[in-house]
Amino acid sequence: MFMAYLPPSTYLQRPQGKVAELRLELNSGSKKDKNFTTKKIALKKIVANMTMSNNDMVALFPDIIGCMGIQNLEIKKMCFLFLVNYARMRPEVAVKAIPVLEHDMEDPNPLVRALALRTMSYIHVREFVEATVPIVKQLLRDSDPYVRKTAAYTVAKLYDHDRHMVEKSDLIDRLNGLLRDDNPTVVASALAGLMDIWERSDAIKLTIDYSNASKMVAILPDCSEWGQTYILEALMSYVPQEAGEATLLAERIAPRLSHSNSAVVLTCIRVILYLMNYIADQKQISALCRKLSPPLVTLLAKGPEVQYLALRNALLILQRRPEVLRNDIRVFFCKYNDPIYVKVTKLELIFMLANEKNIDEVLTELREYATEIDVHFVRKAVRAIGKLAIKIEPAARRCINLLLELVSTKVTYIVQEATVVIRNIFRKYPNQYESIIGTLCEHLDSLDEPEAKAAMVWVIGQYASRIENSDVLLEDFLDSFAEEPVEVQLALLTATVKLFIQRPTKGQDLVPKVLKWATEETDNPDLRDRAYMYWRLLSTDMEAAKRVVMGEKPAITAESEKLDPQTLEEMCLNVGTLATVYLKPVQTVFRNARPKKLHDSPCLQRQEVAVPGLRQPGDDGNKSLSGFGFGSDKAVQRQGNMSAAVSDADAYFAQQHTRQQDGFGDQGHGGGYVVSQFDAQVPVYSAQGQPNNADLLL
C-alpha cells in the first residue's frame, strides 16, 4: 500500500483554498436557484468557521457585503452576523455595508428593519455609531411595535458606545416619550433602556412618582416575562411618600409571585421586600411575609441551579424577615439526589429555622445526614448539631447525646468535627457538660487535623484540674510540637500554662520546656510574643497570670455568621442577582454596579442599630460610660472628668450620625440631566439655562 507524501506547504495553503472555494460557492448559483440554496449552504459553512474563530474568513468581507442586498431574511441574518463579528477587524471594508443597512431600514418588512437597526447598534465603529443616530430617531416613531422596541434598546447601546453624543442629542427625551406608548412591550423596553442608561450615568436621576408606578403596575399582565422583570426592576426607583401607597403597590404586584418564570418571581420578591421598609403596620408586613413563602418553596421544584439561587436568597431574606418560611422547615430537608451545593445550603436554612418546637424533628434528620457517604456534607451536619446546642439551650443535652452517639462510631472525620463543636459547647455552658470529657479523651488517636487537635488541647488545658492525667495527655501532644501547625502550637502553649496555673506540681517541668521551644526554636512572631508574655507574667505575678489566662471567655453565640445590618440592607435590595449567591455587597461582585440604598421618606421605617458606647436617646451619662467599661459609680469617680469627655464624644458622633441620615439618598441635582417628579411635563433647567432631560417617567 502506497501513501502520497505532501510537503508542509500544502497544509499551509489549505485554508486559503477553503476561502477560495467558499468565495466560488457564494458567487455561483444559477437563475433556477430561486431560493438561493447554494448561497445559504456557503453562508452556513462560513458561519461555522467563524464560530470556530477562523479569522481567515475575514477575507470574504467584500463577497458578504455583496450578498447583503439579497431579499432573503435567512441570508441577511447570516450576513449581518458576519458583519458584527468582523467589522472591528476590517472597519474600512465594513463601512461599505452602511448604505445597504440604511436601505434595509426602509424595507416594508418590520423584521428586516429591526434586524438592520440591531446590527448597526452592535458595531462599535465610529461611522456606524454616527449613522445610527438619525435612523433611530426615525424608528422610535415606527408604526410597528417590534421596531419601536428594538429602537428603545438601540438608544441604550448607543449610550454604551458614546454617552456624550447621546446626551447632546434628544435621544433620551425621545426614549422617555416612548413610555406613553400604547404597547406594553414597547413601554417595558423603554424602561429597560432608561434603567440601563441610569445605571451607568451620574448625570441622570431616575424618579418615579405614585401615579407613574401605578401605570407601570397596570400593564404588567400584558407584558412578556422579561418585560415584567424590567418593569418590576424599575419600580425599585419609586420612593413611597406614604405607607398606604407602599402597601397598595405591594398588594398589586403580589400576583406576579405565582409566575412560572423564576426571574419574575425573584424580582417581585425584591420589590416587595423593598416596599416593606416603608410600611409601619406590622400586621400588613406579616401578611406580605406569608405571601413570600409559597413562591420560594415553589422554586425548589425547579432545576438544581434555580433551587440553589432560591436557597441563597432565602438565607438572606430570613435574616431580614424571620417571619418568612417560619413554618416551612420540612421543605428544606435534603433529598438523596440533591447536588452537594444544594444540600449544604439547605442545611444552613434548617439551622436558621430550627427552634424548640421542631428540634426533635431536626435532630432526627441531622442524624441521617451524619451517616451519609459524602464526607464534606457529614462534617457540615455534625457541626450543625453542635451549633444547635449553642443556639437552643433547652435542647443542648439532646444535641450532646447525639454527638456522643456519633463519636462512638469511631469514624475519624466525625470524631474530629464533634471535638471542635464540643469545645464551643463548653465555652457556651461552662461547668455543665464536663462529664463527656472522658469520652473525648478516649479518641485522641483519631485527631489528625489542626482544628480538631487545637480544640482538644484547649479542652485539656481548660479542664486540667478535672482530668487526672492531663499532664500525660499534653506530653503526648508535645512530642510533635515542632512539627505541628502554628494553630496547634499556640493551643499547646496556652494549655501548658493553664496546666501549671491549676496544677503547679504537674506542670512545673512542662512549662519551661515549652516556653524555651516557643521563644528560641520558632520563627513565628505570634507564637514567640505570646510565649514571652506568659514567661513574664509567670515570673512576676502569679495572681495576675491566673486572672489573664484563666479569666472569663468572651460570650459565644451561633449567630456569628449573620451579615451586618448595613450589608444586609443593601443585599435585600439586590435579591435575585449574583451578589446574593456570594452574600457580598454588589460592588464586590460587579465593580461598576451602582450601589443601592433606601432613600429617605416620611414613611421610611429604618432599623436602629445599637452601637456600643454611643448614647441612645433617653440614656444618661452613666449608661454611656458602661458601654466603655466604666459602669459602676466608683469607676466614674476614679475617672475624674472622663464622664464629660465621653459625653462630648457621644454628642459629636450623634451629630455626625444625624447629618449622614439627613443627606441619605440625596444625590443632588447639579448639572446635567435633572428629573423632577412633581413637574412631569416640563423640562427642568439647570443653572446655566440649558434644558436638561425631562422627567424620565411622564
Higher pLDDT, 204 or 148: 148
Q: Is residue 482 part of a domain?
A: yes
How would you class 219 by CB atoms within 10 Å of its CB: exposed for 0-12, middle for 13-18, buried for 19 or more?
A: middle
Boundary of a domain, candidates 397, 416, 447: 447
User: What pLDDT, on a 0 to 100 scale, did the predictor assign at position 328?
Assistant: 81
What pLDDT does residue 559 have?
Answer: 65
On whether both 453 and 558 belong to a single domain, the answer is yes
Q: Are residues 509 and 535 in the same domain?
A: yes
- Of the candidate ranges 193-197, 203-207, 274-278, the one whose mean pLDDT is the lowest: 203-207
Q: Residue 369: inside a domain, yes or no?
A: yes
Same domain, residue pair 434 and 364: yes
pLDDT > 60? residue 343? yes
Residue 662: pLDDT over 90: no
Q: Are 467 and 550 within one domain?
A: yes
Whole-structure pTM value: 0.75
623 pLDDT exceeds 80? no
Looking at residues 37-48, what average pLDDT do you find?
88
Domain boundary at 447, 469, 499, which? 447
pLDDT of residue 560: 58
Same domain, 470 and 438: no
Under a CB-based contact definition with an 8 Å cutoff, are residues 253 and 262 in contact? no
Q: What is the rounded CA–CA span in Å between residue 160 and residue 155?
A: 9
pLDDT for res 447: 84
Task: Determine the average pLDDT of the residues in 615-631.
Answer: 34
661 lies in some domain: no
440 shares its domain with 468: no
- Examine residue 99 and state whether it is found in any structural domain, yes or no: no
- 233 pLDDT higher than 70: yes
Q: According to the model, what pLDDT value does residue 29 have?
A: 66
Same-domain status, 455 and 553: yes
Predicted pLDDT at 555? 73
- pLDDT-derived band at 110, boundaries 50, 70, 90: very high
Q: What is the largest CA-CA distance in the chain?
A: 109
Please check whether residue 93 lies inside any domain of the structure: no
> Residues 462, 555: one domain?
yes
Do 447 and 487 meet the contact criterion of CB atoms below 8 Å apart?
no
Least confident among 215-224, 364-373, 685-694: 685-694
Let me know if residue 331 belongs to a domain. Answer: no
Position 507 scores a pLDDT of 83
Which DSSP symbol is given to 73?
Answer: H
CA nearest 381: which of 359, 365, 397, 357?
365
Instruction: Report the pLDDT value the prediction gives residue 4, as an integer from 0 to 100.
Output: 45
| Residue 88, pLDDT score | 87
What H or E segment, with its residue span, contains residue 476? helix 470-478
Is the same domain home to 460 and 551? Answer: yes
**Are 547 and 495 part of one and the same domain?**
yes
Residue 490, in any domain of the structure: yes
Model pLDDT, residue 640: 41
* 466 belongs to a structural domain: yes
Minimal CA–CA distance to 197: which of 154, 256, 252, 135? 154
User: Over 80: is that where the pLDDT of 540 sits?
Assistant: yes
Average pLDDT, the chain: 81
Same domain? For 406 and 365 the reply is yes
One domain for residues 484 and 545: yes
Domain residue limits at 535: 449-562
Q: What percent of the chain has pLDDT over 70?
A: 83
Task: Report which of residues 624 and 149 the model is more confident about.
Answer: 149
CA 128 – CA 149 distance, rounded (Å)? 20
Final residue before a domain boundary, out of 533, 562, 591? 562
Q: Please tell me which residue, 674 or 215, carries the higher pLDDT value.
A: 215
| Number of compact structural domains in the chain | 2
